[in-house]
Amino acid sequence: MKLLLTSLTLLLLAGCASGPRIDRSHSSVNQDGRVQFVVLHYTNASQDQSLDLLTKGEVSSHYLIGSEPATIFQLVDENRRAWHAGESEWQGRTWLNSSSIGIEIVNKGYDDTPNGRLWYPYSEAQYQSLAALLKDIIKRNNIEPRNIIGHSDIAPLRKLDPGPLFPWKRLAQEGIGIWPNDQAVARQKMRFDFNPPSAAWYQQQLARFGYAIAQTGEFDVTTHHVIAAFQMHFRPERFDGQPDAQTAAILQVLNGMR
């Protein structure tokens, strides 16, 4: 009996050490990557403060781009969840921490001055680091251009980062993210100048592009916030949340780019 127990124990131990036997000779075609989105942020803090907050505070991101030099720090493995998005939604997906890679950039955001709100620019070195990092992430994870987004796109009621000085257009010129064609926008704008679209139209088109927005048919507070987030990304010269022909034209052109 004792001998039997000993061999059983040995057998169990052997089982534990090697794990279950798994046959991996069949692989399903029906799968995709965990990472569907890349979310861009500014840290609203200095580099030291940012590193401290993102490694020891209550938030984190996969990457942090420093200030001088623009070092790319990896703080969380891409296969694991980082806590950067919070309550968020894009294209019907909610709580995007599970399905995104978060990139924070050291930048102080803005200062409110007697002359209005002044936004801090990103440096050329930060741009270069960011572009190289994004190209690599997009290629490895096969991310759609319209899914390269800002924190303000996925949480337009509570977030402003990465702000109006974030280089969306320049990145798009390098093949990163989505940007509308200027001539196509000018053509659509003429149409909307004569025929301004309704609140229901904006709500439908913004939802189609990816924004979380209730279809109320009214220009309510939420709709103005979402329009402002859209303008900050695609028409940063003016992002007052007021609907206008150029905003409508940009939205129309972007939704035609499928």
Residues that bind Zn ion (CB under 5 A): 41, 151, 161
CB of 245 to Zn ion, least distance (A): 31
Q: CB-based contacts of 240: which residues, under 8 Å, 6+ apart?
A: 228, 231
Quote the distance between the C-alpha of residue 174 and its chain's center. 18
Which of 104, 124, 144, 218 is labelled catalytic?
104
- CB-CB contact of 107 with 151 (8 Å): no
CB nearer to Zn ion: give 41 or 62: 41
Which of 192, 188, 195, 222 shows the shortest CA–CA distance to 207? 222
CB of 257 to Zn ion, least distance (A): 26
Q: Read off the amino acid at residue 169.
A: K
CB nearer to Zn ion: give 163 or 180: 163
Supply 111's token pair. Answer: 């200062």
Phi and psi at 50, nearest 5°, equal -65, -45
CB nearer to Zn ion: give 39 or 253: 39
DSSP code of residue 212: -
CB of 182 to Zn ion, least distance (A): 29
Q: CB-based contacts of 63: which residues, under 8 Å, 6+ apart?
A: 72, 73, 74, 75, 101, 102, 103, 104, 133
CB nearer to Zn ion: give 120 or 219: 120
CB of 235 to Zn ion, least distance (A): 21
Is residue 144 among the annotated active site residues? no
CB nearer to Zn ion: give 229 or 248: 229
Residue 102, helix vs strand vs coil: strand
- CB-CB contact of 118 with 109 (8 Å): no
What residues act catalytically? 104
